[in-house]
Structure formats: structure tokens, C-alpha cells
Amino acid sequence: MEPEINSMSDEEMLTYCKTADQETVRRCVSILARRYESSLLNYIFRMVGDRDIAEDLLQETFVRIYRKSREYRKIARFSTWLYKIATNLSLNEIRNRRHRPLLTLNLPVDSGEGGEEMVSLLESEDNKLPIRMLQDRELAGLVTDTLDELPEAYRMVIILCDMENFSYQEAAEVLGVQPGTIGSRLARARDFFLQRLLPYLRQARR
């Protein structure tokens, strides 16, 4: 008797795919796509700055999940593996079109009409970069410019840790580095933001 696929966890589903027929694998990947497509599309969109390209990369990500489903190892969370594939595809796209914007901080693409731009607002109290909804287009532009000036490695940890709320360990697995490297890069990136944004934020609070 076939188990109820919809009730499986991500990891259970991928493990089941190792011995399942191709039609069942397609069903499993379709379920996984429904679970992650919205959040993953937003993630890719922030990286590449183009909705059409983001949608193409999202589709390609799940095509690769389908093709590599039997290679999944349960030692890693499925979401980590998924984001690693999406990250690599996005970085390849960015590197192939250096003349175009590397990152946008627009609202999530499924947010509907009437939304203002989403930016990372620096909180000097604990030196974090939570995502906030702001009306200030000038600040949005400053944040985008600051991100563009960051080296790619620092930009990536900002996206993963401060926008996607990945832990250091999870971000390290996605980027293929040690957790300590994530911590040091994030500290430098946040300090860079502090130096650039704090004068503006102080002025805005007056």
C-alpha cells in the first residue's frame, strides 16, 4: 500500500523518492514546489532583481531537484539543499550579466498591489538588519546602493541570515563555508551598513 505522500515531511519525501517510480517522484517534487515556491521565488527575486528571470530560475531549481532526487542525503535538511541549488543558479545568472543590478529590495512578488518598497532597516541597539516595510524611497535607494557596494560574499550572508533568517550553520551549508566564516562576514557586512546608514537614520529620527 502506497504511503500518504502529502503527510510526509520534506526529508521523508525525498528519501521515499530514492526507490519510487518516476511518476511518484514527479508527484513528490510537485508537492515540494507548492510548499516552497512562494518563499523561494522571493529569495531568488531579491538576488537577481528581475521577476521573469527569477521565475525561470525557480523552475530550473525544481527541475534539478527532480533530476537529483535520488542523490539527496538525509544528513542535510531539504530546505538547505533546495536553497543551495537556487543560490548557485542565481549566482551564475548574476555573474553572467554584471552590467545589470545584482539585487533588489522590492516587496515579495506575491504581495499584491499597493505595497511600498521593502528595505532592511538597521537597528543600532543590537546591530541587526531585520526586514521592515518603509515609506522612505530615499532610504530604500541608499540600502540598495550599499548592498551593491558589498562584495558578493558579504551580500550573500546578508540575504540568507538577515532576510531569510537562516542560522549560521544553515547559511554555511548553502554557501559551502564554515559557520565561523559566516559570522565574520556578517559582522563586517553589518558594520559596513552601520557606517553608511546610521547618519541617515539619526537624521530621520529628528
Is residue 192 located within the same domain as residue 133? yes
- Report residue 72's pLDDT band, with 50, 70 and 90 as the boundaries: confident
166 three-state secondary structure: coil
For the stretch 6-46, pLDDT in tens is 899 999 999 999 889 999 999 999 999 999 999 999 889 87
Task: Find the mean pLDDT for residues 45-66.
Answer: 91
CA atoms within 13 A on the CB side of 115: 14
Place of cell 530514492: 18
The answer to whether residue 113 sits within a structural domain is no
User: Residue 164 maps to which CATH number?
Assistant: 1.10.10.10
Is residue 156 located within the same domain as residue 189? yes
Q: What is the pLDDT of residue 9?
A: 93
List, in sequence order, the alpha helices (H) in the chain.
10-17, 22-48, 51-67, 78-96, 137-149, 152-157, 168-175, 179-204
Is residue 16 located within the same domain as residue 87? yes
Is residue 197 located within the same domain as residue 130? yes
Task: Find the mean pLDDT for residues 72-76.
Answer: 76
Residues 19 and 49: beta-carbon distance below 8 Å: no
Q: How far apart are CA 65 and CA 6, in angstroms?
A: 17
Task: Find the mean pLDDT for residues 111-121.
Answer: 34
User: Residue 44 maps to which CATH number?
Assistant: 1.10.1740.10
Residue 118 φ/ψ, nearest 5 degrees:
-100, 130
The answer to whether residue 101 sits within a structural domain is no
Is residue 70 located within the same domain as residue 135? no
Is residue 23 located within the same domain as residue 56? yes
Q: Across all residues in the chain, what is the average pLDDT?
A: 78
Task: Find the mean pLDDT for residues 175-203.
Answer: 87
Task: Find the mean pLDDT for residues 86-103.
Answer: 73
Task: Find the mean pLDDT for residues 66-81.
Answer: 85
For the stretch 154-180, pLDDT in tens is 888 988 898 888 999 999 999 999 999
Q: What is the pLDDT of residue 95?
A: 80
Is residue 75 located within the same domain as residue 138? no
The answer to whether residue 102 sits within a structural domain is no
Is residue 19 located within the same domain as residue 69? yes
Q: 69, 65, 45, 71: which is closest to 56 by C-alpha?
A: 45
The answer to whether residue 188 sits within a structural domain is yes
Lowest mean pLDDT among 14-23, 53-62, 116-125: 116-125
Residues 181 and 170: beta-carbon distance below 8 Å: no
Amino acid at 121: L
Structural domain boundaries, residue 187:
118-204
Q: What is the pLDDT of residue 12?
A: 92
The answer to whether residue 175 sits within a structural domain is yes
The answer to whether residue 109 sits within a structural domain is no
The answer to whether residue 106 sits within a structural domain is no
Amino acid at 127: N
Q: How far apart are CA 20 and CA 15, in angstroms?
A: 9
The answer to whether residue 111 sits within a structural domain is no
The continuous run of DSSP H or E covering 153 comes out as helix 152-157
The b-or-e profile of 154-168 (16+ CB within 10 A means b, else e) is: bbbbbbbbbbbebeb
- Which residue has better confidence, 117 or 37? 37
Q: What is the pLDDT of residue 146?
A: 81
